[in-house]
Amino acid sequence: MPFGKYYLLDRINVGGMAEVFKAKTEGVEGFERLVAVKRILPSIAEDEEFIKMFIDEAKIAVQLTHQNIAQIIDLGKVGDAYFIAMEYIHGRDLRATYDRAKKKGEILPLPMSCFTMMKVCEGLDYAHNKKDASGAPLNLVHRDVSPQNILISFDGEVKIIDFGIAKAANKAAKTQAGILKGKFGYMSPEQVRGLPLDRRSDVFSCGIILYELITGERLFIGESDFSTLEKVRNVEIMPPTTYNRNIPEELERIVLKALAKEKEDRYQNAMDLHDDLQSFMYTIESFFSQKDLAAFMRKEFPEDLMQPGAAEAPAGAAAPGSAPPPRASKLPPPRTS
């Protein structure tokens, strides 16, 4: 389906704010480029304040160029529809990866979880420290660091998406019911309270994700949105080893520090969390690379590799000369005392 200078191929996802398409743009001599097009839904586009905020935030986000942040390449309007185009990542989000393991009664390999979150921290740290043309800090905060917004490609790349538009999405959520449903469990306590946010809010969200990856259990989830928000507000946390007795003491310390209720007690920036995770990996002599992550993703999602344009390597195959894909671990029974 034609859409401005793009041709929409498949709808990848639809949410309360936008629908996302796999698309392509064409040039001379058969040139083609795959992109992801996020088109704002008509009901949201009627909100002029949201559109202004969306455009302002996208103008900032397009300045972010980092290997762990999905690059925004275009911002435009076709008819009455506003959209952004970003690099297309052939892979799955971290939510789908977690859910695939959970369905099999497994948790993701611990080195993989640490490696993935280290890459997320690298992308966040870059954005948190980004300055404008005059050298003034932009003071960017993602505000929605969640498994749905972390993509893992079948080449082993880790990419944060939606950097710069979460603030606009939060504005839209005030008038559009359900947009943030499912995201409450990844907010920081100060975010739930409506307080000013800084980079430490994103660090807290990283702590939530890491907790869930290594335990196989959701951290902040209640019977209703209100009860979930209360759990976040009060930072009701059971130690990770409650659910997985195989978690080393040092990793538990790292996770709980990232999840400190008072932001002064947390890691003060994403790179400090990254460095502690890296030191932990060295301590346990566990080395994990992008090649290992690629092998794991190919093994877990062979059906996606059959799509046109997928990597040529057979499903589940590691790169030549590499070790076999890391295996997920069966969940041990939780502690009873």
What is the DSSP annotation of 222-281? -SSHHHHHHHHHHT----GGGT-TTS-HHHHHHHHHHT-SSGGGS-SSHHHHHHHHHHHH
Q: Which residues pair with 131 in a beta bridge?
A: 137
Report the percent of the chain where pLDDT is more than 90.
Answer: 56
Residue 178 has a pLDDT of: 44
Q: Is the per-residue pLDDT at 104 higher than 60?
A: yes
Residue 330 has a pLDDT of: 59
Whether residue 144 lies in the annotated active site: yes
Gap between the Cα atoms of 220 and 217, Å rounded: 9
Residue 257 has a pLDDT of: 98
- For residue 302, give the 3-state DSSP assignment: helix
Please report which helix (H) or strand (E) contains residue 49, including its range.
helix 48-61
Find the helix packing angle between 199-215 and 94-103, rounded to 10°.
20
- For residue 36, give the 3-state DSSP assignment: strand
**Domains along the sequence of the chain with CATH:** 2-87 (3.30.200.20), 91-283 (1.10.510.10)
Residue 47 has a pLDDT of: 77
- Which member of 144, 162, 202, 292 is catalytic? 144
The pTM assigned to this predicted structure is 0.86
Gap between the Cα atoms of 50 and 318, Å rounded: 45
Q: What tokens appear for 114 in the block?
A: 């640490």
What are the pLDDT digits (tens) for 165-179? Answer: 656 555 555 444 444
**Cβ(300)–Cβ(97) below 8 Å:** yes
Residue 172 has a pLDDT of: 52
Work out the average pLDDT over 279-308.
89
226 CB-contact burial (10 Å; exposed 0-12 / middle 13-18 / buried 19+): exposed
Residue 289 has a pLDDT of: 94
What are the pLDDT digits (tens) for 171-212? Answer: 555 444 444 544 789 999 999 998 999 999 999 999 999 999
CB-based burial, 88-108: b 16+ in 10 Å, e otherwise: bbbbbbbbbbbebbbeeeebb
